[in-house]
Structure 1
Amino acid sequence: MRRQVKLEGRVTGVCRPGELLAIMGASGAGKTTLLNVLTHRNNDKLRITGDLFVNGRRVDPDTLTSRSAYVQQDDLFIGLITVREQLIFQAMVRMDRHLTYYQRMSRVDEVISELGLTKCADTKIGVPGRIKGISGGEMKRLAFACEVLTNPPLMLCDEPTSGLDSFMAQNVVAVMKNMAERGKTIISTIHQPSSEVYAMFDRVLLMAEGRVAFLGEVDAAYEFFSRINMPCPPNYNPADFFISTLAVQPGKEDGCRKAINMICDEFTKSEEGVNIEKAVKENSTEGEAEGYDSLVDVEVKKSPYKASWWCQFRTVLWRSWLEVIREPMLIKVRFFQVMAIALLIGIIYFRQQLTQEGVTNINGALFLLLTNMTFQNVFGVINTFCAQLPLFLREHFNGMYRTDVYFLSKMVSELPFHIFYPFAFVAIAYYMVGFTNDVVDFFICATVVILVANCAVSFGYMISCMSKNLSIALAIASPLIIPLMLFGGFFLNSGSTPVYLTWLKYLSWFSYGNEALLLNQWADVKSIACRANETCYPDGHAVLSFLHYESGTIAANIASLVALLVGYRALGLLRATREDL
């Protein structure tokens, strides 16, 4: 089985099954770009010409990607789940849908054993600086384990030894070597390998300035450079010698590029280079007459996803829930934050009476319920999607799950807390302040505050989906919230809203929430105490009339809050789906 690659006519190569091919070169030589071309990733700014051949048959990048695995340089995981849970997640969304749960779990156990992850199988992956987890070598092996679950015949690895010491790097390369010996084709970029690691490679591809400087057996590289009068010194790491020889050194750019072009030209004319070109042409011709093999003889489905929508949702929701409940400190901090603010409001407004001063104080306390639930929840979820954007993009473009699945899973996993916290907040503040002493009114107030909190969460989700990073999300959140708060009916009387800004009131959950809470508080109040020679509100209806809420209904405002809740989340979902976050 042979793989051929061409990049703008400047790179041509062949890799066979059972081989570990190492791509080496100085920084900027084009190693990662070559892998990205093979897997059709991050190529938006490149103009690519050439063909991909598998066993002599031309294939498109999507077909190659569906039957290969790409171990990227950065290890991106959810640090709060264990190694086994990570592999179970991968097995559920990446393996063929006809496989049973038992078969998937058997494959997970098999991969854990093969890659030496048994000791850390039930250890959390870890979050740097916060949660101690597995080691760097185990992290790299886990990255391999995620990719080999589907048993792909072709694997591409981008600098899998980056950041590891020589011993761990040798272990990782040994893993790749073992996979190659089982018949897989392994193509990997390597940065500064030790001499022991270099000796483990079957073949090496040396690149410089986007061109092939050498491609062939490891020992043949010595002979080639000796023939062009650039012999590797004895007792010298050959990898270091080749990389330094093919590097463009500062201050010597012209001389280095001239030497690189000479080396590349010599290789093209050499016996090795001629044989590669000949092998490419022969296999391309043979492939036209032969049938597809197991790698390319696959039906390209309209959907790139292996799992059904429901399976994706169930699996991503399971992982999201684990992520939420395994942040006990965050849960405790948010709980105590809610309790502390509720107690503070209750103490400041303790036992308000139905007097003229009490009207102002009660209205202020009601609006404080809305503002606290808004800012606490908007800024509590605003990093939900920004923080995990790189992980989402990688998993989404690997065909693991849909954008809407990820969005809905995150939303559902956090929903219980977005109901419990507002209810606990109202339960403490309601009777301390002295709102209406009626159980039905209490539950109406709690319902309104819960809906307001979830409207704020929806708004936070929308901002998070609109923003490419957390800094932008935090920068635009307050300027968007303040106008909605100003038209909430507390700072500006509802009847005084300028006509040309009336539309803002209909987008504000402050407006609907404030009106609903005021109606719930004052609609049944028949008498308000008043002193002589004092301008008074005689009853609750007068308060509502002054605020221009006398014709409103609680049901209509609750319905409007539900509409805003759904609307903001729908806008967030549409934005996420359109822009892939």
Structure 2
Amino acid sequence: MDETQSPTMEKPLDASDAELNRVRTSHLINDVVLHFSWKNLNVNVKDRATKKPLRILTDSHGFVEAGEMLAIMGPSGSGKTTLLNAIAHRQAAAGAKTTGDVMANGQKMDWKKIRQLSSYVEQEDALIGSLTVRETMKFAAGLALPNSVSKRERMQRIDDLIASFGLQAQAHTIVGTPIKKGLSGGQKKRLGVASRLITEPKILFLDEPTSGLDSTLSFEVVSFIRSIAKKNKLIVIASIHQPSTSVFKLFDKLCLLSYGKTCYFGDLPEALPYFKDIGLPMPFETNPAEFYLDLINADLAKEGDDVFDRIKHITESWSVGAGDQKLIQQIDANVFSSERSGVPDLTKVKILEPSRWMVPWVLLQRSWVKAYRDIVVYEIRVIMYLGLAVLMGTVFLRLKSTQDYIQPFINAIFFGSAFMSFMAVAYVPAFLEDLATFTKERANGLVGPLAFMVANFVIGLPFLFAIAVLFSIVAYWLSNFRNNGGAFMMYTMWLFLDLVAAESLVVLVSAMFPVFVISLAVTAFANGLWMCVNGFLVPMNILNPFWKYVFHYIDYQAYVFQGMMVNEFKHEVFTCNSVDGQYQCNYPGPLNAEGKIDGPSVLKTLSIALNDEKQWIGIIIAIIAVYRILGYLVLVLRRH
């Protein structure tokens, strides 16, 4: 990233208050965050056993200057991620209450301002496997950069970042899917960080950036981050677990935690002398990172034993020692004052964001690329549906217009509509992948629930319509449904509405239960319920009133089944069987004397009205809208 290509503040940083009030910057804030700090940060949760408040982070203080890298270290459960989330103004833990001050340039920052100044890279990659490196960067820029940034500048920034992280040779390589291999683990980590740096944030939070990597790849990733941080005066704060010596030495400052309490905070070279002064010298030929973690590892500690007493000694030595007091004094000395020159007032900085329509447009483009390129999303589903069409068409092959085939016709209509809907469960993994990406992008303030839901809905329509047409072409004519072009189009239309409703149900359930097994089970159960109450297995005139009035009228499968039945039987006539010259008609009707059964008589026995198709279409569209709106509301309420 070449800073000369970024918009800068119109006035120098030592301008007067009046001048600072007129300062306007682009979304790319350049050289305005000189230091980042936090003071008296505490995080409390409710103890599951006692139901009383439990403190998981205690009186944490910290101070990091521009261009520095801070490593937050500690054993599992020490509070590393809790601290990282708290200073990033994220939910520190489930049901947690956070108190204390988080400051940039000595000014208290709310969550919105922190999101504007920073980027957060999750431990798990928020990357879409079917996109290339360049596409990933391009879409990241589209979601974050304001319209005032020209296309040429965007591409230059993308190229600079790809080059800075050593990904030029992989620029047109996909990230990688379960079916098609792409980038290596280290390259994915680098791309994940690079995609978050597209807006030139001044603070970068990293949650376990080396997890899943060996020591060589870990050093590669962290060294790239360090070079970017030094070049662009970026503040980097990373939680890190058991780094190698080479990786550990890349950091400038160290924060050690145990039991949620600070064991040390300060410059990396000063850590060894500090622990020596409190009676804990490091043996020769020892990895410093391992030494510190062994000192404060509480996994096997029990109250009263040597390990517990040692950790207690370390935390108490820090809390009452000169190091902690010096840190607090440094934080207090840098509290913002409008009279101090050289410190930009971040409350006067205006942040420009993408236009209201840019984010959904970018999401549509990205979803389109994923949909046609990632075979897991729709191609496998197309194969599944075509297989179902062949199965249906060959089982219900060339049904005839005699009364013996009336029930097989009804069965074929039920089978086609119900099982097409049921197989929408195959969309669960694809949507959960999109949801995971959305959750991470939303946490960085890039994407909102409305844009995500609109893009997801719109991009699915052409693919679902294509599936409906392909299925109908095979199954409709093989089964010998009514030989009429208009009837074929109506059958396809009902099938399309069925698929849209089924996929909307998947979206709602997966938003409510974003765990694969649970989403799959709930969606399958719901589809099984709709099959039971749609009017085929048990006719409406004898269906239990509870199931009829509670579930039947909100069952989209019921309206699809009825619509397909009317489409097939409204204008059809079947011949009755004849025994010894006497007609034996299974369905009573006005044509029985002629040895025929008219289709409306069949519909009457199933309590299906003849002329309510428009009403049914409207109800299905309303059900689809309700599913999508409820899914949107779930995402709104599930804010992290």
DSSP 3-state at the match of 2:119: strand
Residues 561 and 267 of structure 1: CA distance in aligned 2, closer, same or farther (over 3 Å): closer
3-state secondary structure, aligned to 2:483: coil
1:566 aligns with 2:613: no
Residue of structure 1 equivalent to 2:256 = 206
* Cα distance in structure 1, aligned partners of 2:529 and 2:285: 72
Structure 2: which amino acid aligns with 1:541?
P
* Partner SS state of residue 166, structure 2: coil
Native 8 Å contact 2:173 2:182 kept in 1: yes
Correspondence for 1:11:
60
Q: 1:318 aligns with which of 352, 355, 365?
A: 365
Whole-angstrom CA distance in 2 between matches of 1:518 and 1:117: 57
Pick closer, same or farther for the CA change 1:496–1:146 going to 2, 3 Å.
Answer: same
| 3-state SS of 1:382 partner | helix
> What does the per-residue CA deviation read over 1:487-515, in whole Å, with 9 as the maximum and x for residues that have no partner?
33322223334445433332223332232
- Partner Cα separation in structure 2 for residue 200 and residue 517 of structure 1: 67
Residue in structure 2 matching 1:192, options 228, 236, 242: 242
Aligned equivalents of 2:103 and 2:384: distance in 1?
60
Determine which of 188, 194, 211 is the counterpart of 1:162: 211
| Equivalence for 1:545 | 604
Between the aligned partners of 1:580 and 1:274, the Cα distance in structure 2 is: 37
Deviation at 1:119, TM superposition (A): 1.3
Letter in 2 for 1:280: I
SS across alignment from 1:452: helix
The corresponding residue for 2:393 is 346
Match of 1:362 in 2: 409
Q: Structure 1 stretch 404-413 or stretch 107-116: which is displaced more?
A: 404-413
Q: C-alpha distance in 1, partners of 2:434/2:379?
A: 22
Q: 1:225 to 1:564 in 2, by over 3 A?
A: closer
Residues 453, 628 of structure 2: 8 Å contact kept? no
The match for 2:443 is: 397
The answer as to whether partners of 2:73 and 2:80 remain within 8 angstroms in 1 is yes
Give the alignment partner of residue 469 of structure 1, picking from 508, 515, 518. Answer: 515
Please say if residues 137 and 169 of structure 1, whose CA atoms lie closer than 8 Å, have aligned partners that are also in contact: yes
Tell me which amino acid in the other structure corresponds to 2:410. Answer: N
CA contact 2:120–2:206 (8 Å) conserved in 1: yes
Match of 2:27 in 1: none
**Is 1:58 paired with 2:117?**
no
Please give the per-residue CA displacement for 1:308-345, whole angstroms capped at 9, x wherever unaligned. 33211111111111111112476554334333332333
CA contact (8 A) 2:540 2:548 kept: no
Give the conservation status (yes or no) of the 8 Å contact 2:360–2:455. yes
Q: Which moved more, 1:477-486 or 1:230-239?
A: 477-486
* 1:508 has 2:508 as partner: no
Residue aligned with 1:51, SS: strand
CA distance in 2, matches of 1:227, 1:550: 89
Letter in 1 for 2:401: L
Residues 307-316 or 84-93, more deviating: 307-316
The C-alpha deviation readout for 1:128-151, integer Å capped at 9, x for no partner, is x53212112212211221222111
Per the normalisation by structure 2, the TM-score is 0.83
SS at match of 1:157: strand
The 1-side partners of 2:586 and 2:381 are apart by 41
Does structure 1 conserve the Cα–Cα contact (< 8 Å) formed by 2:245 and 2:288? Answer: yes
Q: 1:220 to 1:536 in 2, by over 3 A?
A: closer
Assess if the C-alpha contact under 8 Å between 1:4 and 1:13 holds in 2: yes
1:258: which partner in 2? 309
Give the deviation of 1:527 after TM superposition: 6.0
More strand by share: 2
**Worse-superposed segment, 223-232 or 323-332:** 323-332
Task: Supply the distance in 1 between the matched residues of 2:542 and 2:168 (Cα, whole angstroms).
Answer: 69
Give 1:34's match in structure 2, choosing from 83, 105, 113: 83
The superposition leaves residues 231-266 of structure 1 with CA deviations (integer Å, 9 ceiling, x where unpaired) of 222232222222212223515553333323333443
Counterpart mapping for 1:497-536 below 5 A? 497-503=543-549, 504-525=551-572, 528-531=575-578, 532-536=582-586
* Contact residue 338 and residue 425 of structure 1 kept, 8 A: yes
1:216-239 Cα shifts (integer Å, max 9, x gaps): 333322222222232222232222
Residue 485 of structure 2: which of 439, 443, 446 is its match?
Answer: 439
2:97 aligned partner: 47
Between the aligned partners of 1:337 and 1:277, the Cα distance in structure 2 is 63
CA distance in 2, matches of 1:267, 1:563: 62
Deviation of 1:351 after TM superposition, in Å, equals 2.7
Distance change in 2, residues 1:265/1:300 (3 Å):
farther
CA shift at 1:91, angstroms? 0.7
Tell me, in whole angstroms, the C-alpha distance in 2 between the residues paired with 1:563 and 1:506. 12
What letter is aligned with 1:318?
Q
Cα distance, 1:111 vs structure 2: 0.8
Question: SS where residue 328 of structure 2 aligns?
Answer: helix
Pairs aligned (count)? 575
Cα deviation, 1:62-91, whole Å, max 9, x if unaligned, reads 322320222232223111111111111111
Offset at residue 118 of structure 1 (A): 0.8
| Structure 2 unmatched runs, 5+ | 1-33, 43-57, 592-597
Unaligned runs of 5+ in 1: none
Q: Among 197, 200, 213, which residue is 1:151 paired with? A: 200
Deviation of 1:192 after TM superposition, in Å, equals 2.2
Identity over aligned residues, as a percent?
28
Q: Which amino acid aligns with 1:308?
A: S
Partner of 2:130: 80
Letter in 1 for 2:152: Y
Report SS of the residue matched to 2:97: coil
Q: 1:257 to 1:319 in 2, by over 3 A?
A: same
Please give the alpha-carbon distance, in whole angstroms, between the structure 2 residues aligned to 1:467 and 1:329: 21
Structure 2 CA distance for partners of 1:230 and 1:299, relative to 1, 3 Å: same
2:527 match: secondary structure: helix
1:420-459 matches, within 5 Å, as 420-459=466-505
Judged with a 3 Å threshold, the aligned counterparts in structure 2 of structure 1 residues 130 and 294 are, in CA distance, closer, same or farther, namely farther
Distance in 2 of aligned mates of 1:243 and 1:280: 27
Structure 1 residue aligned with 2:48:
none
Distance 1:49 1:574 in 2: 28
CA RMSD of aligned residues (A): 2.7
Structure 1 residues 157 and 564: CA distance shift in structure 2, 3 A: closer
Judged with a 3 Å threshold, the aligned counterparts in structure 2 of structure 1 residues 293 and 350 are, in CA distance, closer, same or farther, namely same
Kept in 2, the 8 Å contact 1:57–1:288? The answer is no
Judged with a 3 Å threshold, the aligned counterparts in structure 2 of structure 1 residues 295 and 30 are, in CA distance, closer, same or farther, namely farther
Return closer, same or farther for 1:263/1:530 CA change in 2, 3 Å cut-off.
closer
